[in-house]
Amino acid sequence: MTKSSFSNIQSEYLAVIDHNKCVRCKRCIQNCGWGTYSFGGDKILADHSKCVACGRCYTYCPEGAISIIKNPTVIRENANWQEPLVKNIWRQSETGGIVISGMGTTFKYKKYFDHILLDACQVTNPSIDPLREPMELRTFLGKKPSKLDLDFDEKGEPVLKTKMPPQIELQTPFVFGAMSYGSISLNAQKAMALAARALGIVMNTGEGGLHDDLVPFGKNIIVQVASGRFGVHRDYLNSGVAVEIKIGQGAKPGIGGHLPGEKIGIDISRTRMIPVGTDAISPAPHHDIYSIEDLRQLIYAIKEATEYEKPVSVKVAAVHNIAAIVSGIVRAGADIVYIDGYSGGTGAAPIVIRDHVGIPIELALAQVDERLREEGIRNEASIIAAGSIRSSADAVKAIALGADAVAIGTAALIVMGCHVCGKCNTGNCSWGITTQRPELVRRLDPEVYGERLYNLISAWSHEIQEVLGAMGVNSIESLRGSRERLRGIELTDAELKALGIKHAGL
């Protein structure tokens, strides 16, 4: 078939320039990764069809001459035939392709965190002032024995007899979620590495191998093993504080990923240990895991290769039967289970998956924690909750629902300037985050954004301390799993039951 020459898809946004204010410095031309702007001899021209509202141009326009507005030309409203659906039909009819997008779902599903309220002390037990009193956030991730065995020395003093399984020590219950070099830029990874080191937390390589520049950050890195096995070798497994097996991701449960060949430059090729220019394909399943006992086999293959000195984490997407799945994972020997809710971010995912598969992290987490306790194995593994933790309040609620720590992905990118435009898959990110174009990557200064990440996590940690103080406890372990401190609002009985909390007022 011949390609038809017109497209039905009108620009979503208009890049409007106030030519009276514009001094023709051309910064916008330079800054836009999508090539929206050009110079028309006497003034700046904007190709609206290219604008994705990433926010870079107006942030850097010295004159405030740019406004990005929603295209006022409407597609006639129809509650059933909503605009994105109509547009996707056009897109697919023009290309025959699967629609993909970056970032988490844009659907307006119920956000359970926004329907959970926290408790505070009044009179019968006191709140604690976090500015004056110690307020402990230190968190250890890893398998804990259910009891300790002791010996006694000559003086009769107890000494520890139990050999403690390896733990990751976090100074605050946050980790950076897995984002590979390839899906994001090396500078973005470096910013997280710097922040992780300063904060005493960890970042995660994702399935992209470990770049040489990040090797010195080993104490603050979890290395990932996914189905493509990119960059995975013995020394890699031993280069971080833990190894994570990625089974699934909240934004695209059950499917793999393709890093297109045009993004595989020399540096990424070296890190992933694949040739330049070939697609980096992560198959949907690990082909050595078709069943739970196979997962066990891989977990122990990694434990053997790391001589049992690194905790092994397993990352799964929150899906319908998550409680039973995680119970199986824990029994298969995982030391940490990372659960990613359906609104988690991604570098690229088919929207049919991203917008329609999986369940919210809040419900998944509550069910998993309850199930592991019922089975008496909650101590066997730590739980990391992820899938759009947007504030310290989300973090507190996740921890009270049963998480040991929470993972930050999209929020960390927002720190680096991301405006959640969802075009990460194009590789044109104007902020230098989800791109490999050197001129774009260069603008992301790891030191500057490392410090901003540090600021964000420090601020959120202080906020958690405030909340703990208000709740009258001075240690995060007294909040962890304490659902008694949560109440639901505007939730049905079924939802309350799934969350294991009572309605406000009760």
> Does the footprint of ligand SF4 cover residue 423 (CB under 6 A)?
yes
Least distance CB 28 / ligand SF4 (angstroms): 3
40 binds, among another protein, ligand SF4, none (CB under 5 to 8 A by kind): none
Least distance CB 102 / ligand SF4 (angstroms): 5
What residues from 130 to 189 belong to the interface with ligand SF4 (CB under 6 A)? Answer: none
Nearest to 68 by CA among 59, 81, 80, 77: 59
Nearest to 464 by CA among 111, 139, 112, 122: 139
Nearest to 236 by CA among 192, 181, 195: 181
Strand, coil or helix: 141: strand
Nearest to 317 by CA among 255, 253, 401: 253
Cα 194 to Cα 199: distance, rounded to the nearest angstrom = 9
Least distance CB 102 / another protein (angstroms): 9
Cα 393 to Cα 304: distance, rounded to the nearest angstrom = 39
Out of 424, 441, 479, 491, which residue is the one contacting ligand SF4 (CB under 6 A)? 424
> Does the footprint of ligand SF4 cover residue 223 (CB under 6 A)?
no
Q: Give the side-chain half-sphere CA count within 13 A for 479.
A: 33
Out of 192, 421, 441, 473, which residue is the one contacting ligand SF4 (CB under 6 A)? 421
Count of CB atoms within 10 A of residue 319's CB?
17
What residues from 72 to 91 belong to the interface with ligand SF4 (CB under 6 A)? Answer: none
Nearer to another protein, 40 or 96 (CB): 96
> Does the footprint of ligand SF4 cover residue 32 (CB under 6 A)?
no
Count of CB atoms within 10 A of residue 150's CB?
11
Give the Å distances, CA to CA, from 111 to 114, 318, 347.
6, 15, 22
Out of 176, 181, 236, 431, which residue is the one contacting ligand SF4 (CB under 6 A)? 431
> Does the footprint of ligand SF4 cover residue 413 (CB under 6 A)?
yes
Nearer to ligand SF4, 65 or 491 (CB): 65
Size of the residue set binding ligand SF4 (CB under 6 A)? 29
Nearer to another protein, 108 or 147 (CB): 147
Nearer to another protein, 32 or 61 (CB): 32
Cα 150 to Cα 388: distance, rounded to the nearest angstrom = 42
Out of 7, 26, 273, 497, which residue is the one contacting ligand SF4 (CB under 6 A)? 26
Give backbone dihedrals phi and psi of 78, rounded to 5 degrees, phi first. Answer: -155, 120
Q: With residue 270 as reference, give the H or E element that holds it.
A: helix 266-272
Out of 8, 9, 23, 82, which residue is the one contacting ligand SF4 (CB under 6 A)? 23
Q: Exposure of 275 by Cβ count < 10 A (0-12 exposed, 13-18 middle, 19+ buried)?
A: exposed
Out of 68, 102, 202, 207, which residue is the one contacting ligand SF4 (CB under 6 A)? 102
Nearer to another protein, 229 or 452 (CB): 229
Cα 181 to Cα 269: distance, rounded to the nearest angstrom = 10
Cα 483 to Cα 486: distance, rounded to the nearest angstrom = 5
> Does the footprint of ligand SF4 cover residue 325 (CB under 6 A)?
no
Nearer to another protein, 39 or 152 (CB): 152
Tokens representing 438?
Answer: 């050197």
Nearer to ligand SF4, 399 or 441 (CB): 441
> Does the footprint of ligand SF4 cover residue 198 (CB under 6 A)?
no
> Does the footprint of ligand SF4 cover residue 434 (CB under 6 A)?
yes
Give backbone dihedrals phi and psi of 313, rounded to 5 degrees, phi first. Answer: -105, 150
Q: Which residues form the interface with ligand SF4 (CB under 6 A)?
A: 17, 22-28, 44, 54, 61-63, 65-66, 102-103, 413, 418-424, 429, 431, 433-434
